[in-house]
Amino acid sequence: MIILEIKKEEFFEKILKVAAPWRIERIEESASKKEINVYLNFPRGTKFKCPICGNECVLRSSKIRSWRHLDLWEYKTYIHAKVPKIDCCNKTPTILPPWVRENSHFTLLMEDNIIKLAKMSTIVRVAKYLREHDTRIWRVINYWVSKCRGKANFSKVINLGIDETSKKGHRYITNFVNLDTRKVMYVADGKDHKTIKEFIKDFKKHRGIAKNIINVTSDMSLAFEKGITKNLPNAKIIIDKFHVIKHINDAVNKVRIDEAKKNDLLKKPSIYGSKIIAA
């Protein structure tokens, strides 16, 4: 068996994928706080490429910044690095390390982990699991959702689904879904006809064409019907089967209750049940 000797710094550089010219200067471990702090620096005289023109420039100044990285052995891991500024193009651009983005408290790998966790649970639970404040988690989610939505293309959307849900008590939101891809395109506050107009405004910003929508599923809301008729001229309104069955069940149950008041036999439980079960 061949045993290779490797320094602690070199080992961490490999697992953290530290890129040149940054190198690990020192590592501090805190067993009481269950934290690992990795400090990075770059050699004196290092030149940095200007993000505007591409010329290599000498350092003007630097500032130490910190980011939360993926946990190592259940220890919170923080990377602290000198972020340089250079003089070029009549500006002083900041040269960010390749593993972070601007205005973030996390590395890109940590943000990727946050997005994956957010797909499987609530933000509150994700924050608790990562031992972070939920405000920071929401900043990451909002940034990447906005970035991805900016690239969204709705030009091929022809089948639209609309449904409202309660956010907190009687605070309603309306979801607009592409029925072919089953992806949410927009979420509006409220549940009146104005939400349709609000959606169409956003829909057009992403190359969507209102005249292309031929089918819209929704509940029996007169407000939705008004908004669809006014803003989607070629759309056929299809009532969601869930709401149709719910209305039938409620009607049958009302009749059963009224009849039970007149007939004592109907007050006893029936083996057939009292509701229509959807196939």
**Phi, psi values for residue 72, rounded to 5°:** -115, 115
- Whether residue 271 lies inside any domain: the answer is no
Bridge partner list, 24: 40
Q: What per-residue confidence (pLDDT) applies to 55?
A: 82
- Whether residue 140 lies inside any domain: the answer is yes
User: Average pLDDT, whole number, for the chain?
Assistant: 84
Q: State the maximum Cα–Cα separation within the chain, in Å, rounded to a whole number.
A: 96
Among 117, 151, 185, the domain-final residue is 151
- Whether residue 187 lies inside any domain: the answer is yes
Q: Write the pLDDT tens digit of every residue in 36-58.
A: 898 988 888 888 888 778 788 88
4 vs 235, which has greater pLDDT? 235
Q: Is the pLDDT of residue 65 over 80?
A: yes
Mean pLDDT of 229-253: 82
Q: Is the pLDDT of residue 267 over 80?
A: no
Helical packing angle, 123-130 and 108-118, nearest 10°: 140
Q: What per-residue confidence (pLDDT) applies to 80?
A: 93
The residue segments making up the domain with residue 144 are 109-151
- Whether residue 40 lies inside any domain: the answer is yes
SS (H, E, C) 8-38: HHHHHHHHHCCCCCCEEEEEEEECCCCEEEE
- Whether residue 267 lies inside any domain: the answer is no
Q: Write the pLDDT tens digit of every residue in 128-184.
A: 999 999 999 999 999 999 998 888 999 999 999 988 887 666 788 889 999 999 999
Q: Write the pLDDT tens digit of every residue in 71-122.
A: 988 899 999 998 888 888 777 778 888 888 988 999 999 999 999 999 999 9
Question: Are 12 and 96 part of one and the same domain?
Answer: yes
CA dihedral 124, 126, 128, 134 (to 10 degrees): -50
How is residue 183 annotated by DSSP? E
Q: What per-residue confidence (pLDDT) applies to 1?
A: 42
Domain count, the chain: 3
Q: Write the pLDDT tens digit of every residue in 12-32.
A: 777 777 777 888 888 888 878
Q: Is the pLDDT of residue 271 over 60?
A: no
- Whether residue 66 lies inside any domain: the answer is yes
- The Cα 200–Cα 208 span in angstroms is 8
- Whether residue 172 lies inside any domain: the answer is yes
Question: Are 90 and 113 part of one and the same domain?
Answer: no
Tokens of 34: 């269950």
- Whether residue 235 lies inside any domain: the answer is yes
Residue 94 in contact with residue 84, Cβ under 8 Å? yes
Question: Are 83 and 23 part of one and the same domain?
Answer: yes
How many residues does the structure list for the chain?
Answer: 279
Question: Are 139 and 175 part of one and the same domain?
Answer: no
Tell me the residue type at 29: E
Residue 237 in contact with residue 225, Cβ under 8 Å? yes
pLDDT band at 244 (very low <50, low <70, confident <90, very high): confident
Q: Is the pLDDT of residue 274 over 80?
A: no
Q: Pairing state of beta strands 183-189 and 159-168?
A: unpaired
Question: Are 179 and 223 part of one and the same domain?
Answer: yes
Mean pLDDT of 234-248: 80
CATH number of the domain enclosing 220:
3.30.420.10
Question: Are 48 and 67 part of one and the same domain?
Answer: yes
Residue 134 in contact with residue 124, Cβ under 8 Å? yes
Query: In whole angstroms, what separates CA 23 from the centre of its chain?
Result: 33
